[in-house]
């Protein structure tokens, strides 16, 4: 009789465990990337890869050369994006408090503004007017669903506090009123929040920019002019070999950091962080 009772109680115990597991899964907080619908062609996750691919192809097929003013402005935009990226990561306290100071007093999604600046700088290096004009449309196409989901999630988590914050601070691009917070933009920053993952991202951004500049210069001036600008030496026999080595080295840096970031982000999502 006791054996029969034990066997009868086992299913109910397993059922309770299953129900508890289902409740745990439902209550686990999701990130904006997990909640946002995946687009087959373009989404936030692959936009930069698409921009890099288009930039390399256009640099190879339709180089416009190295114009000092354009390249200087592109590098300024790149450095501004990298600086903003580091500031945001050093101020963000994810899913714990509503960040409203520092870069979050400038715009509600400063990380996306940093991404916009970095990708736009690559388009400026390439110098193709059609790519530069197309990028803003690609950005909002890729980020639109994520922005909608993230705004809803933050509103659900922080309630009226986020509603007030949303009414005062612009979403991605600063307004004349929000620019006033630049004097306190470093408030809440801590280097302890800057991880190895973020450093590798910065290295990847710089390697891609260097790659595009080299391609532009080599395609218009030749590798001899790049390496020996003040001499008459022109090692044409080695141009192709050296160029391939440089491009492969930069590509390996980009690919290795991309793979590391992908694996790191996947592990963080599994841990619910």
Task: Return d(Cα 227, Cα 174) in angstroms, integer.
Answer: 41
* Token couple for 114: 């940093």
pLDDT above 50: residue 224: no
Confidence of residue 33 (pLDDT cuts 50, 70, 90): very low
The angle formed by the CA atoms of residues 211, 217 and 223, to the nearest 5 degrees, is 95
Averaged pLDDT score across all residues of the chain? 74
Question: Which stretch of 88-92, 212-216, 253-257 has the lowest confidence by average pLDDT?
Answer: 253-257
* Mean predicted confidence (pLDDT) in 209-224: 76
How do residues 87-105 score in pLDDT, each as one tens digit?
988 887 766 678 778 888 8
How do residues 258-268 score in pLDDT, each as one tens digit?
666 666 566 65
Task: Return d(Cα 56, Cα 31) in angstroms, integer.
Answer: 32
Question: Which stretch of 17-26, 200-209, 248-257 has the lowest confidence by average pLDDT?
Answer: 17-26
pLDDT at res. 70 = 92
pLDDT above 60: residue 109: yes
* Mean predicted confidence (pLDDT) in 160-185: 83
Confidence of residue 139 (pLDDT cuts 50, 70, 90): very high
pLDDT at res. 262 = 62
Burial 62-90 (b: 16+ CB within 10 A, else e): ebbebeeeebeebbebbbebbebbbbbbb
pLDDT above 70: residue 6: no
pLDDT above 70: residue 168: yes
The closest of 266, 244, 260 to 203, measured between CA atoms, is 260
pLDDT above 50: residue 24: no
The closest of 60, 50, 79 to 211, measured between CA atoms, is 60
How do residues 47-100 score in pLDDT, each as one tens digit?
988 999 899 889 888 888 888 899 999 999 999 999 999 998 888 776 667 877
Query: What is the pTM for the complete model shown?
Result: 0.70
pLDDT at res. 167 = 86
Which residue ranges make up each domain of the chain?
40-270
pLDDT at res. 16 = 42
Helices (H) then strands (E): counts for the chain: 10, 0
* Mean predicted confidence (pLDDT) in 216-237: 56
Contacts of 217 (CB under 8 A, 6+ apart): 65, 66, 225, 226
Between residues 227 and 115, the one the model is more confident about:
115
Task: Return d(Cα 33, Cα 213) in angstroms, integer.
Answer: 32
pLDDT at res. 263 = 61
Q: Which CATH code for domain 40-270? A: 1.20.120
Question: Under a CB-based contact definition with an 8 Å cutoff, are residues 102 and 185 in contact?
Answer: yes
pLDDT above 60: residue 164: yes
pLDDT at res. 191 = 83
* Mean predicted confidence (pLDDT) in 173-189: 79
């Amino acid at each position: 009789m006791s054996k029969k009772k034990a066997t009868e109680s086992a299913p109910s115990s397993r059922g309770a465990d299953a129900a508890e597991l289902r409740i745990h899964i439902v209550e686990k907080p999701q990130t904006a990337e997990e909640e946002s619908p995946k687009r087959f062609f373009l989404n936030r996750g692959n936009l930069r890869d698409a921009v890099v691919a288009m930039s390399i192809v256009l640099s190879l097929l339709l180089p416009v050369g190295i114009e000092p003013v354009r390249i200087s402005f592109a590098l300024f935009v790149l450095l501004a994006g990298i600086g903003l990226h580091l500031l945001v990561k050093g101020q963000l306290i994810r899913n714990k408090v509503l960040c409203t100071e520092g870069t979050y007093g400038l715009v509600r999604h400063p990380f996306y503004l940093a991404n916009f600046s970095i990708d736009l700088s690559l388009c400026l290096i390439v110098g193709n007017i059609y790519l530069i004009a197309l990028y803003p449309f690609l950005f909002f196409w890729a980020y639109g669903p994520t922005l909608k989901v993230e705004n809803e999630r933050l509103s659900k988590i922080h309630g009226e506090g986020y509603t007030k914050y949303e009414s005062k601070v612009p979403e991605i691009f600063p307004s004349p009123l929000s620019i006033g917070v630049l004097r306190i933009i470093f408030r809440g920053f801590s280097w302890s929040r800057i991880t190895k993952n973020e450093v590798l991202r910065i290295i990847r951004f710089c390697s891609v920019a260097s790659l595009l500049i080299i391609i532009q210069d080599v395609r218009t001036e030749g590798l001899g002019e790049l390496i020996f600008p003040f001499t008459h030496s022109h090692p044409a026999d080695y141009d192709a070999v050296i160029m391939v080595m440089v491009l492969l080295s930069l590509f390996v840096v980009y690919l290795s950091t991309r793979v590391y970031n992908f694996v790191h982000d996947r592990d963080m999502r599994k841990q619910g962080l």
